[in-house]
Amino acid sequence: MTATTPQTITVTLSEPLRRKGGEVSELTLRKPKTGELRGLKVEDLFTTDVNTLLVLLPRITLPPLITAEVEELSSEDLLEVAGAVKGFFMPAALKEAMAKAQGVQLAEG
């Protein structure tokens, strides 16, 4: 494998979350480790299963979110975050093929 999968991805929220101490307008997602996937099915992540995302996202987000905050994400933001999570599990060759099909050049890493 020549390209590496990034260990974090930052997503800008279209609708910031409100919490004590201010708004959360960006989430940094960390590539899940095996223990953070405990009790989950990886295939449920690929089908954008909301219940699976409600369990996983509090484990891998910075700033850390609680389940109630994940439930408050707009549907657009949830889908963008879900796409970012899926990207952690895609082989580099698949990412390159998708980028090529979309006319995007990936940075080498």
pLDDT of residue 105: 58
* Nearest one of 72, 88, 56, 99 to 14, comparing CA atoms: 72
pLDDT of residue 89: 86
Lowest mean pLDDT of 15-19, 26-30, 45-49, 98-102, name the range.
98-102
- Is it the case that residue 94 has pLDDT exceeding 80? no
100 or 52: whose pLDDT is higher?
52
3-class DSSP state for residue 108?
A: coil
User: What tens digit of pLDDT does each residue of 1-20 get?
Assistant: 344 557 999 999 999 999 99
Nearest to residue 60, comparing CAs of 91, 92, 27?
27
Q: Residue ranges per domain, the chain?
A: 8-102
- How far are the Cα atoms of 6, 17, 91, 106, 108 from residue 87, in angstroms, in the given order? 9, 23, 8, 13, 16
Q: What confidence score (pLDDT) does residue 91 get?
A: 79
Q: How much of the chain exceeds pLDDT 90, in percent? A: 69
